[in-house]
Amino acid sequence: MPGLSVPFTKGHGTENDFVVIEDPDGRYDLSPAQVAAICDRRAGIGADGVLRVVRGRQVPAWAERWQGDPDLWFMDYRNADGSVSEMCGNGVRVFVRYLLERGLATGPEVPVGTRDGLKPTTVLPDGRIRVQMGPSRVLGRDVEVQAELHDHPPMVWTGWRVDVGNPHAVSLLAASEADRLDQLDLGRAPLWRPADAFPAGVNLEFVRVTGDRQIAMRVFERGSGETRSCGTGTCAAAAATAAARNLAHGGADGPVTFVVDVPGGSVEVELDGDRTALTGPAVLVAHGEFVLPDGTV
């Protein structure tokens, strides 16, 4: 579709930014090259990913994953490099904000279809959006993650594998390493071992504890590089921190809630048994049209 003019909206959730394309009739089945052109921060609009607003029937290959109404709004999410991703927690909130402002949903309860299943969302009175993310499964502390540092040799941490519908490796920094979070050079992709632990790639979180039930996080997202925030990453970071501190994921004492500070702001992650809820802001900042450059197919 070279030269095609595509209407868009730009939005972000804690500065994890997205281009939203409304496509109820499936007109814009964008190629990886076209998505990458849209997300290019110099020659395009610039974003961490693209959220295509489609009806469930437009993605039949995934219908069995969420068993949803074919008329349900489905978030077809693509990373900045054009690769397909299962889920994006910040993206869901931006997606819901778009539906509300366009009059495509009324709220406060808004169900959203994703490649990781149905995600119920709730618009809170303060304007934040709460997403029921499903389980955050801590699978083990059995991978090594190596990251570059500014003006220091690389460091290696033992990482926690966490599944939040997409794969994560969470490195928890010791108190003596607290300054390493700021020294990370995430302009270069971290490495993990064994290499086949994540055959489809992985999101890599680096976390330090800053208070009781409060953590700070930086993230390198597969397909996007370092981002200012990652919704599923904050859930993974909270789950790994809870596991490391032997905090039950809810139970008789109720849910465990973490405040997660990221470079782009703060979110809340509530762990309650096999349920995870992510709460945070979502803002739309621009509307316009983008002309796909020639040669992107």
For 151-205, the pLDDT digits (tens) are 899 999 999 999 998 999 999 999 999 999 999 999 999 999 999 999 999 999 9
158 and 87 part of one domain? no
Residue 249 in this model has a pLDDT that exceeds 80: no
Helix (H) or strand (E) holding 99: helix 89-101
Question: Among the options 20, 50, 51, 88, which is catalytic?
Answer: 88
- Where in the sequence is the domain holding 119, given as residue range(s)? 5-128+282-291
Residue 297 lies in a domain: no
Q: What is the pLDDT of residues 52-61, one digit of tens each?
A: 999 988 776 6
Within 10 angstroms of residue 58's Cβ, the number of other Cβ atoms is 19
Residues 147 and 112 placed together within one structural domain of the fold: no
pLDDT category, 65, cuts 50, 70, 90? low
What is the number of structural domains in the chain? 2
- Say how many residues make up the chain: 297
**Predicted pLDDT at 59:** 73
250 pLDDT exceeds 80?
Answer: no
Asked if residue 121 and residue 248 are part of one domain, the reply reads: no
Tell me if 288 sits within 8 A of 21, measured CB to CB. Answer: no
Residue 71 within any structural domain of the chain:
yes
pLDDT tens track for 87-129: 999 999 999 999 999 999 998 999 999 988 899 999 999 999 9
Co-location of 118 and 142 in the same domain = no
Question: H helices within 27-74, ranges in order?
Answer: 32-39, 63-66
Mean pLDDT rounded to a whole number for the chain: 92
- Known binding residues: 16, 79, 89-90, 166, 203, 221-222, 231-232
The reply to whether 273 and 208 lie within a common domain is yes
| CATH number, position 166 | 3.10.310.10
In terms of domains, do 207 and 87 share one? no
Mark whether 188 and 203 lie in a shared domain.
yes
- Residue 88 falls in the annotated catalytic set: yes
Considering only the C-alpha atoms of the chain, give the largest distance between any 2 of them, rounded to a whole number of Å.
59
Task: Write down the catalytic residue from 145, 164, 204, 230.
Answer: 230
Measured in degrees and rounded to the nearest 5, phi and psi for residue 296 equal -95, 110
Same-domain check for residues 231 and 143: yes
Domain assignment present for 13: yes
Residues flagged as binding site for substrate: 16, 79, 89-90, 166, 203, 221-222, 231-232
Domain assignment present for residue 215? The answer is: yes
Domain contains 296: no
In-domain check, residue 80: yes
**Count of CB atoms within 10 A of residue 60's CB?**
9
Mean pLDDT on 6-25: 96
Tokens describing residue 244: 């490391």
Q: Are residues 257 and 218 in the same domain?
A: yes
On whether both 92 and 186 belong to a single domain, the answer is no
Residue 190 has φ and ψ, to the nearest 5°, of -65, 160
pTM above 0.85, yes or no: yes
At 145 the pLDDT is 98
Is residue 108 situated within a structural domain? yes
Query: Treating both helix axes as pointing N-terminal to C-terminal, what angle do 231-244 and 89-101 enclose, rounded to 10 degrees?
Result: 140
| Co-location of 141 and 123 in the same domain | no
Is 39 designated active site?
no
User: Do residues 247 and 287 both lie within one domain?
Assistant: no
295 band by pLDDT with thresholds 50, 70 and 90: low
